[in-house]
Structure 1
């Protein structure tokens, strides 16, 4: 969490020349929920007029970055699919296959130089799936054999030599084999249960990308922003890329936030494309279809991506992370039944009955980050500094806060 006293935040809103270091007091803790609400707004007309030029610059920067990213992504796509086919031929039988998931399919990659490939192992043998999850020794043996077969590819192609031994996560929620090659590429092969959650959510995000270009643009900006703060880091128990995607989808499809909405509620408008009852073979077919389109949808919302970015920060700055539940399937927010200060951020996608954000750190990090960004933007900072966001250096999140919540904190 960023270190600052409560009195500092009151002063900062009154004095645009103040910097976070001006009143830094390491002995004081600032709890965002202790700040009086509501406060100054980013969507106030005076703010929008005053910073109109910066918002327009932000829109141009995002659009230009997205175009460059998309161009590079398309240049590499054919090469990557050919590599996936080679790997599949090396390790799969006629009863199994490897299906790309994540950004390789959706195009929602933010790092132009990323060489990561995420694959999902799919088998049509029910007995294999049963044994794989029932017997830990068999699971470890099979995953080790998979890595051994991958390592053999390096004998024929120096680019595919391992840079370090493969990593096995047989007891993870989704078992995983992680491999790094000497050419800088990394490969993750997931072995999901028969609900194939990762395949279904990849299909869902791919369709949202096809629905409106402002979704991938806004996601690109928001993920980069959160990453600059250090709170987009799933390996440290913070937000994952999928969490960020769902947060952006919710913002763009909820009519209570944007009316008219930017995105459709696909589970309502196009259930045949995303329903949980869709056979996995059909999901895979859609994932591998490069020409996917959303028929009968065109948003009547004419806001620029820069305008939407400002509204997104305003919305999530005031979002009650310990009270509300985001439902992607219905495009709604509801109040959770139980209320405890340490509960997790509740984001439910259409394929799970529990939150996809399983770490207790996430709500605290997200709330602190949103309040930091909001205060910065009120002073005209962090609006047009994408993609570097040098202001982010002043933010510090203390994970101990989430693990030892002050008993006096009140919502």
Structure 2
């Protein structure tokens, strides 16, 4: 008897795949599904070995991928997409229920999915709400951003969305935490015991919190609140007081101020000639930030549930004393009774009145009251109000401390110098702050910078000693610095030549991509004011990837594979062009460099002979950063002059070479910005991302980023810094020769120094970390090893040693300036 052979059953494909279901849900809820190739992970620019499998990433439009995304791997793209779709369903199992996902997978048509749509709608509504209120600054993240800092914040947002999906009453308010983070190494400390961080760094555990004006409190005050569990009050080491400048130094500064005014007038003329059409300076920068909350949280750090808290300056003048006693802290008064008539306002609008009853200018800091007939309380009475909050039964011993370093809880803000007297008649800034009862960090609430107090005081004392010993050399240094900028900055003819080259290149490249509306934006030193006449022209080729016409940041995908593909097409087109054609006549030589950010280097011909151009694709952050540094140059003329001088010094000493493992030019510029914000007191530069957040801290459409607006008249009034350029140049070397890059990072966006222990773990391998103002990556990642970092520090200290001599000049720093004899 013969047996029938069993015929194997054919596997039939399901009627509907999860990918189709997710696409339908995304379209119905106005969050279309986005699927892109997933780039392989790299370590310090070294790519891993290629894999034969395809890797894809899936997310919903309008929800950054760092918040909600899934990854899939497969032999083909469709298999990888289905794998990512199943991974996305795992999130909905958690957010809704496993039964819901099972029903969703069993749906055979759109009508069946439509019946289940109300169950998933609340999840997307919570995502929309979290993004609309900018919870944990998530609006700074682009659609496909997957940086370590954004992933940390995205994880916290996803947790909050899941909580609000079950209990919508939780909301997305940033609650001010008054409980300090526990010490990881020691859970309990005796009253006389010191933490390891304090003994090593000489800093206290104090956290300074600025009142955020929560709706649950009726306070309009911005009092500083000490929230640490134990405050160590130490006896201060005697330090030599900062002297008022001598008449000779004042005379030098007046001469330097005349040079600054002359240069500022030249910038005004350039702005008038180069200003783009359609820019209205009166409305372009938006409203001044009057929140008085201090700088924003540091985006590259771990997310903080209270973004208005920042650490006390890590460089403290405190020193340990054997007889110190722990004093339990009490919170200062943060709420005001309805009967209290005092309301303290900082950075008010032009309609406000100053204490004298006169109309104040736009952005001027004033004190006002609900009752206009009453007078403003002085600092002593404010402190008395705080003492009243203490319980009389508390057994507390108040220890004396140096009044010069005492933290005073007041929000009195200075106005400009009256009657032409600097610091309102006081000999120096420290005396001014003491007389007005100002905290060391009062500028955090007015212009958004947190002064690095110990180093800034050290810089001031060192510069003071150099001026006493070598005043003539300092005068010569200032004069040579101004001359150096005049002889090396690009002229109007050079600027126009570069801009014409940009337009010509755009016309030719557009013909290579007829199906795309591309744009070519000039970035870098050409427009930020810190470039020389012979600098290369950096350009960004804006190649839309998410829509036909690119308007906003998210229209331009910045994955390396896509950038390389576009640049290779451009490179082939240039090399295959025959002689005599316009593109060949324009470009003499081209070379593609497949770096971490791929670029193509062009050397132009014809009327643009010897002009060198570097083009990248969709490095949109560079456009926003150039826009930011451009306006820093217009705020104070000393910034671009000092930046160009430091760049040339770094190049002459072989540490301005990113390809060799040292600094790049952009990092050098950010070092100068940070020094002028946090390394001197009062600050030279404000924090523009704090003062004008609507213009400098948002993802604006590219066509709204205009240049040469009149920003000087729109800034809030603050105490001016009158240092000469030579003093600032000397102070720059002293500041960074004593800066500990192993323990601290620099944040330009938040205008402060940040402990590196707060950064993600994968940043620990970098010898130095400087937060990029827009996308929060490390701009100093080109510094490869500790040996490169040691060489950079060695050159900075070598430059500092020059100023210890009785006489010095630019030639001692290997910077050639015409007239330096």
Normalising TM by the smaller chain, what interval? 0.7 to 0.9
**Are the counterparts in 1 of residues 560 and 597 from structure 2 also a CA contact under 8 Å?**
no
Counterpart among 353, 356, 377 of residue 779 in structure 2: 356
Counterpart of 2:670? Answer: 246
Counterpart among 469, 486, 494 of residue 76 in structure 1: 494
**Are the counterparts in 1 of residues 546 and 557 from structure 2 also a CA contact under 8 Å?**
no
Counterpart of 1:67? Answer: 486
**Are the counterparts in 1 of residues 540 and 618 from structure 2 also a CA contact under 8 Å?**
yes
Deviation at 1:62, TM superposition (A): 1.2
Q: 2:727 matched to 1:326?
A: no
Counterpart of 1:217? Answer: 641
Give the secondary-structure state (helix, strand or coil) at the position aligned to 2:580: helix
Q: How does 1:57-206 map to 2 (within 5 A)?
A: 57-70=476-489, 72-92=490-510, 93=514, 95-110=517-532, 112-114=533-535, 116-126=536-546, 136=561, 140-150=564-574, 152=577, 155=580, 160=585, 162-164=587-589, 166-170=590-594, 172-181=595-604, 183-192=609-618, 196-206=620-630
Counterpart of 2:692? Answer: 270
Counterpart among 290, 303, 312 of residue 708 in structure 2: 290
Counterpart of 1:312? Answer: 732
Q: Distance in 1 between matches of 2:543 and 2:773?
A: 23
Q: Distance in 1 between matches of 2:555 and 2:711?
A: 36
Summarize the Cα distance change of 1:386–1:76 in structure 2 as closer, same or farther, 3 Å threshold. farther
The C-alpha deviation readout for 1:305-360, integer Å capped at 9, x for no partner, is 11111111111110112111111111111221189996421111222333211123
Shifted more, 43-52 versus 230-239: the winner is: 43-52
Highest RCO, 1 vs 2 (Cα 8 Å, sep ≥ 6): 1
Q: Distance in 2 between matches of 1:215 and 1:163?
A: 36
Give the secondary-structure state (helix, strand or coil) at the position aligned to 1:188: strand
Deviation at 1:147, TM superposition (A): 3.0
The C-alpha deviation readout for 1:176-227, integer Å capped at 9, x for no partner, is 111223532211111135xx21111111110111110000011111111111
Q: Distance in 1 between matches of 2:677 and 2:799?
A: 23
Give the secondary-structure state (helix, strand or coil) at the position aligned to 2:482: helix
Q: Distance in 1 between matches of 2:547 and 2:464?
A: 62
Q: Distance in 1 between matches of 2:579 and 2:725?
A: 44
Q: Distance in 1 between matches of 2:482 and 2:459?
A: 28
Q: Distance in 2 between matches of 1:383 and 1:42?
A: 21
Q: Distance in 2 between matches of 1:238 and 1:79?
A: 31
Summarize the Cα distance change of 1:260–1:83 in structure 2 as closer, same or farther, 3 Å threshold. same
Give the secondary-structure state (helix, strand or coil) at the position aligned to 1:95: coil
Q: 2:475 matched to 1:50?
A: no
**Are the counterparts in 2 of residues 373 and 382 from structure 1 also a CA contact under 8 Å?**
no
Q: Distance in 1 between matches of 2:655 and 2:560?
A: 36
Give the secondary-structure state (helix, strand or coil) at the position aligned to 1:378: coil
**Are the counterparts in 2 of residues 42 and 310 from structure 1 also a CA contact under 8 Å?**
no
Q: Distance in 2 between matches of 1:108 and 1:135?
A: 28
Q: Distance in 2 between matches of 1:376 and 1:158?
A: 50
Q: 2:654 matched to 1:230?
A: yes
The C-alpha deviation readout for 1:157-179, integer Å capped at 9, x for no partner, is 69955444x22235x33221112
Deviation at 1:379, TM superposition (A): 2.2
**Are the counterparts in 1 of residues 655 and 663 from structure 2 also a CA contact under 8 Å?**
yes
Shifted more, 59-68 versus 321-330: the winner is: 59-68
Counterpart among 697, 700, 724 of residue 279 in structure 1: 700
Give the secondary-structure state (helix, strand or coil) at the position aligned to 1:43: helix
The C-alpha deviation readout for 1:50-72, integer Å capped at 9, x for no partner, is 211111111111112222334x4
- Larger fraction in helix: 1
Counterpart of 1:23? Answer: none
Higher alpha-carbon Rg? 2
Q: 2:786 matched to 1:367?
A: no
Q: Distance in 2 between matches of 1:201 and 1:347?
A: 14
The C-alpha deviation readout for 1:205-254, integer Å capped at 9, x for no partner, is 10111110000011111111111111111121211110000000000011
Indicate the RMSD between aligned Cα atoms, in angstroms.
3.3
Summarize the Cα distance change of 1:386–1:212 in structure 2 as closer, same or farther, 3 Å threshold. farther
